Structure 1
Amino acid sequence: MKDFLTKAIVFFILTMGGLAFLLLKYGYFVDYFYEKFTTPKQTSLILGDSRSMQGIQPRIINQELKNDGYHLPMFNYSFTISQINYGKPYTESIKKKLQSSNNGLFIISVHPWLLTEREGDDLKNGIYSERSNPPHNMVFTNISPNFEYFVRNFKYFHFRSIIKQTAELHKDGWLEESNLPKDKETLQTWKNNQILLYKSFAKKWRKSTIRKNDFIKMVEFLQKNGKVILVRMPVDAKILNIENNFWQNFDEEINIVSKQLNVKYINFSKDNKYKTYDGNHIDKYGGVVFTKELCDSIKIVK
């Protein structure tokens, strides 16, 4: 019995050691979210789904706004539309990741799909469909290696990515996608896939007053720690058309909210000059240009 326990302990130590090595050395390749939970608390955040996770680059913000009085560096705490929907779970996770400050900067990506009632929601009874996904299912958001994330969210690990290394999650939370279309046919195929995806959203999801109210409360909380900027990011005209048909007066409603809360709403949605790789996500080259122009817009905010 004693020998069995000794072997079991040794096996456990070796397994955990090997796992720790894997996470420390390759965590940024094998999972698109893991590294977000291994960094310290942050004073300035980018919030939203994959549009902002890929399209807004913290390092550019750090360079462009370094002399503007914000408590930097910036950290990208965006995820993907499968995990993120504005509501109480996301706000609670933000509170875990946030280091209190008077001069933080919070860039919040907004579009209709992030304020919707989806499958699995029972919002009137306080049930949010995203609650079992990261970042909402995480207790510890600031430790490395983060074994809790491995246990709770193993399904998100893609170990083949260690070899392919086509996407890298940087320590500042920015996801760098290097698997870009090499020809117009591939680009059009990827755009068509995104169009079909958003058409399906329009059929299944509904506008949510509860999530909109949760969103307002989140903004009010963040305002206690610094300046909040609302940003609608550019997308392909066909995707934008789907969004506008789904929620026809979305921009007007966000404008009203921004005035009520005294925050700036910057709307890039109709600007198609930024290069995307699928009609929905600005690629890593276009992201540099976009982030710089976003910073220029932030500089003129009073």
Structure 2
Amino acid sequence: MNKFLFKIFLLIIFISLLHIIFSFFSDGSTDNFYLRLTSKKQNSMILGTSRSAQGVHPSVIDTVLKNKYQMYNFSFSVNNSSYGKVYYDAISSKINKNINDGIFIMTVDPWSISSKIGLDTTMIDHNSILKNLSNYNVFPNYHYLLKNYNKGWGSILLKKIEYKILLNKSSLENFNGSFTFLQHDGLLRVYTNMDSIYVENNTKRKLKHYKNYMSKNVFSNYRYNYLEKTINLLKMHGDVFLIRMPIDDNLYKLENTIFPKFNNQMNVLTKKHDLKYLNYTNIKDKFRYTDGNHICYTDAINFSNILANDIKNFLK
């Protein structure tokens, strides 16, 4: 019996050591979120959902602004980083509380301040990957991996290898399908086929999803209040800008149909807090989108340059 228990003990130790070893292979190929929860506390941040996660390049912002603090993209997705207590707590844990001259770009859209009809506020963001993490700034982040990574930690190494193989066999424009890599500055780079038919099909699927699923959302006072609370938090540490990103025209029309007062709400909010609301939906036709919802990587560079220069002018 003692020998059996000893063997079980050794097996547990061996498996634990394997997991520890595999965790040190984790990087931007692990998933679309993990790496952001392993970096240090940040002085300047880009915040929002997947639109800004893919569409605002920290390196471009840094080049234009020449700010003494590097910009970091701490955006996730509409299911994980819409404005609310969970995202607020994550931002509060991520920000360097010792600075007061940072720059914070908060991207907003109707979905990030809405919730399902009839959903109790206690259940909002209940399934967010950010909920109840013990640490948002540690590598490896064992709590995140234990809580959210269900593929087996051996796949961490396999995904790292797979990414390198895919990268060697593809280019951004002609890859058949798509894959992602989360950069060290928090930008989610999407490698995807930009063939017009492929993009059109992706856009149709995305629009159908928003019509059938997201259209059941309504304006949420809870989320709006946490958006305002997040603004108050960030204003203590620097300059804050509210941004509405460009999207495909059909999706934009859908948003305006469901949330016709959104821009007015943002204008009232920014006036109240003496902020700038930069609405880029009026130049939406200047950019290409992978699925109607996200600006493609190369065009996101151009958008980020426009955004950075606008911010630069306001900071003069």
1:152 Cα deviation after fit? 0.7
SS in 2 for 1:89: helix
1:97 matched residue in structure 2: 94
CA distance in 1, matches of 2:94, 2:78: 19
- The yes-or-no answer on 1:49 pairing with 2:44 is no
Contact 1:202 1:246 in 2 (8 A): no
| Residue of structure 1 equivalent to 2:73 | 76
Q: What's the counterpart of residue 289 of structure 2?
A: 276
Whether the aligned pair in 2 keeps the contact of 1:103 and 1:227 (CA below 8 Å) is: yes
Task: Please say if residues 52 and 75 of structure 2, whose CA atoms lie closer than 8 Å, have aligned partners that are also in contact.
Answer: yes
Pairwise CA distance, 1:172: 1.5
TM-score, length-scaled by structure 2: 0.87
Cα root mean square deviation, aligned? 2.1
Q: Matched residue of 1:28: which SS?
A: coil
Opposite residue 300 of structure 2, the aligned amino acid is G
Q: Find the counterpart in structure 2 of residue 234 from structure 1.
A: 246
CA deviation after TM superposition for structure 1 residue 161, in Å = 3.9
Of 202, 208, 222, the residue aligned with 2:220 is: 208
* Whole-angstrom distance in 2 between the partners of 1:59 and 1:157: 33
Deviations 1:55-93, CA, capped at 9 Å, x for gaps? 111122222222x4xx52111111111222211221111
CA separation in 2, counterparts of 1:97 and 1:13? 33
Q: Is the 8 A contact 1:43 1:99 kept in 2?
A: yes
The whole-number CA distance in structure 2 between the counterparts of 1:139 and 1:53 is: 23
Q: TM-score, normalised on structure 1?
A: 0.90
Aligned-partner SS, 2:281: coil
Query: How is 1:19-30 mapped onto 2 (pairs within 5 angstroms)?
Result: 19-30=19-30
1:221 pairs with 228, 233, 244, which one? 233
Aligned residue in 1 for 2:36: 36
Q: Where does 1:1-302 land on structure 2 (aligned, <5 Å)? A: 3-4=3-4, 6-66=6-66, 68=67, 71-100=68-97, 101-118=99-116, 121-123=119-121, 127-155=122-150, 159=155, 161-165=159-163, 166-181=179-194, 183-271=195-283, 272-302=285-315
Shift in Å, 1:4: 4.5
Indicate conservation of the 8 Å contact 1:96/1:141, yes or no. Answer: yes
In 2, the alpha carbon distance for the partners of 1:217 and 1:76 equals 20
Percent sequence identity is 30
1:132 alignment partner, SS class: coil
After TM superposition, give the deviation of residue 254 of structure 1 in Å.
0.3
One-letter code of the match for 2:43?
T
Report the CA distance shift for 1:13/1:285 in structure 2 as closer, same or farther (over 3 A). Answer: farther
In the alignment, structure 1 segments of 5+ residues that lack a partner are: none
Cα displacement (A) at 1:278: 1.2
Deviations 1:210-269 (A, max 9, x none): 221221111011100111111100100000000001111211110111011011111111
Q: How far apart, in 2, do the equivalents of 1:291 and 1:102 lie?
A: 24
Instruction: Give 3-state SS (helix, strand or coil) of 2:192's partner.
Output: coil
CA contact (8 A) 1:106 1:228 kept: yes
3-state SS of paired residue (1:195): helix
How far, CA to CA, are the matches of 1:20 and 1:59 in structure 2? 32
Distance 1:17 1:199, change over 3 A: same
Partner of 2:174: none
Letter of the 1:136 counterpart: K
Letter aligned with residue 225 of structure 2:
N
Deviates more, 1:114-123 or 1:290-299: 114-123
Secondary structure of 2:29 counterpart = helix
Tell me if the contact between 2:192 and 2:290 (Cα under 8 Å) persists in the aligned partners: no
SS, match of residue 29 in structure 1 = coil
Q: Are the counterparts in 1 of residues 82 and 113 from structure 2 also a CA contact under 8 Å? A: yes
Number of residues of Structure 1 aligned to a counterpart in Structure 2: 295
For 1:156 and 1:95, locate their aligned partners in 2 and report how far apart those are by CA, in whole Å.
29
CA 270–221 in structure 1, closer or farther in 2 if over 3 Å, else same = same
Gaps of 5+ in 2: 164-178
